[in-house]
Amino acid sequence: MAQTITSVRGMNDLLPSDTRRWHRLEAACRQVFASYGYGEIRTPIVESTDLFARGIGEATDIVEKEMYTFADRGGRSLTMRPEMTAGCARAYIEHSMHHAEPVTRLWYQGQMFRYERMQTGRYRQFWQVGCEVYGIADATIDAEQIAMLHQLFVSVGLRDVEVLVNSVGTNEDRVAYREHLVAYFSPLADGLCGDCKRRLHTNPMRLLDCKVPSCQPIIAGAPQLRAALGEASTAHFNEVLSLLEALGVPFREDPKLVRGLDYYTGTVFEMKCYHPELGAQSTVAGGGRYNTLVESLGGPATPAMGFAFGVERAILCMNEPQSEATVDLFIACLGDAARKKGLVLAHALRPLGLRIESELRATSAKAQFKRADKMGAAAVLTLGDDELANGNAVVKHLREKRERSVALGDVPGLAAAIKSLLGI
């Protein structure tokens, strides 16, 4: 026997039994984002490595050790996108979107790639859904996005969603804060983990995000960023908090929330959802304001705000939907002539809005009814010699045990009768 080939570690298949729940979430996203005026953008999976190095930050975990980077045959360094914010900003600049409208609202969904240690909820290929808004500096958009995502999560059945917010201030605020941090941590460096020791010199704010238990008592005493924020950042953040209250979003301020990407300026937030299987991976979404990214990538100075959520993690936290029928009608066919009639009838009925499986194999009536039941068909229509001879058949509603006699010759009438029996 030939040796089998398996999928790449950390990259999963999604089977039809999984994708049904994904479709429910995707439909809710489309509906909610459209209701706020977002248009969908689709960008390439592969971008120039420079885009992520400059956009996300050289000293971040993502750029330092998690990117799938390779040289193409022309010797260019390319990277499979680890996130979408940098790619969206690149497209925003490349297509001069600011010329069309002062405010641009984009949403996206797609696979991202990060070479991470795997566990439930953390994969090397994972899906994100996200939104980015360009052109609004006001706190209103920060609050609107957080409220929109919270509303979306609640509407698809995520339970106990916790919203954490903080402000990381402007680039200038952070220069001063970094100095305070280095002054605080340097004398305590011997007690820090290896990553923290290194970051103390490359990216001291990331120390606040460290999860290593032995670092926690040291981190707990660190000076707070909030105290180092300038007047404008403090006023903006207070406005966000008051708007969130006005919108009725339950939130908690988390002064230690710094996020793992370097482009943030001002408001940052995360949403957590408690699920026994997720454990430490309970952060379902993250985002914030990034007012300097577009300009740093060569575009016009443009304030921006966005977020992304991990689809696998959101799906794990979603309430089980009611089990749904996968087909509306199963046509059980007894004999060769009936199979041919079933094939033709199904072909004619599907464009009229019915999902149909007609039995294409020669199997017993019992096996066919069992199959209809197992696949969760809502109704069964049986075709045999009698039905073919007199042109009438019976459609049975499987769950409600109701039935209706139908004429096979009138396809629109047949479709209408099946739909009215099923209430669709």
Q: How far is the CB of 80 from ligand HAM (least distance, A)?
A: 13
By beta-carbon proximity to ligand HAM, the closer residue of 204 and 286 is 286
Quote the least distance from Cβ 36 to ligand HAM, whole Å. Answer: 15
Specify the residue for token string 């022309």: 74
Taking the complex as a whole, how short is the minimal distance between the CB of residue 368 and ligand HAM, in angstroms? 42
Q: Which residues contact 268 (CB under 8 A, 6 or more apart)?
A: 165, 166, 167, 168, 257, 258, 259, 286, 287, 288, 289
**Dist CA 386 CA 163 (whole Å):** 63
C-beta of 128 vs 358, nearer to ligand HAM: 128
Q: Closest separation between CB of residue 387 and ligand HAM, Å?
A: 52
Min CB(10)–ligand HAM separation in Å: 8
For ligand HAM, which residue has the nearest CB?
A: 310
Shortest CB 185 distance to ligand HAM, Å? 24
Q: At its nearest, how many Å lie between ligand HAM and the CB of residue 219?
A: 19
Query: Among residues 26 and 403, whose Cβ is nearest to ligand HAM?
Result: 26
Residue at 33: amino acid letter = F
Cβ 5 to ligand HAM shortest distance, Å: 23
* Residue 121 vs 342, nearer CB to ligand HAM: 121
Residue closer to ligand HAM (CB basis): 56 or 346: 56
Would you state the structure tokens that stand for residue 239, as one six-digit string? 């406005």
**Tokens (6 digits) for 106:** 């984009």
Q: With beta carbons less than 8 A apart as the criterion, state whether 288 and 260 touch.
A: no
Q: Of 137 and 327, which CB lies nearer to ligand HAM in the complex structure?
A: 137
Least distance (Å) from ligand HAM to the CB of residue 268? 8
Looking at the Cβ atoms of 135 and 288, the one nearer to ligand HAM is: 288
Nearer to ligand HAM, 92 or 126 (CB): 126
Binding site for ligand HAM (CB under 6 A): 83-85, 114, 116, 121-123, 126, 128, 130, 132, 260-261, 283-288, 306-310, 312-313
CB of 304 to ligand HAM, least distance (A): 8
In the bound state with ligand HAM, the residue whose beta carbon lies nearer, of 131 and 421, is 131
Give the residue with the Cβ less far from ligand HAM, 123 or 153: 123
Residue pair 263/238 in contact by the 8 Å Cβ criterion: no
Of residues 308 and 421, the one with the C-beta less far from ligand HAM: 308
Helix H, strand E, coil C: the string for the chain is: CCCCCCCCCCCCCCCHHHHHHHHHHHHHHHHHHHHCCCEECCCCCEEEHHHHHHHHCCCCHHHHHHCEEEECCCCCEEEECCCCHHHHHHHHHHCCHHHHCCCEEEEEEEEEECCCCCECCECCEEEEEEEEEECCCCHHHHHHHHHHHHHHHHHCCCCCEEEEEEECCCHHHHHHHHHHHHHHHHHHHHHCCHHHHHHHHHCHHHHHHCCCHHHHHHHHCCCCHHHHCCHHHHHHHHHHHHHHHHCCCCCEECCCCCCCCCCCCCEEEEEEECCCCCHHHCEEEEEEECCCHHHHCCCCCCCEEEEEEEHHHHHHHCCCCCCCCCCCEEEEECCHHHHHHHHHHHHHHHHHCCCEEECCCCCCHHHHHHHHHHCCCCEEEEECHHHHHHCEEEEEECCCCEEEEEECCCHHHHHHHHHHHHCC
The least distance separating ligand HAM from the CB of residue 321, rounded to whole angstroms, comes to 21
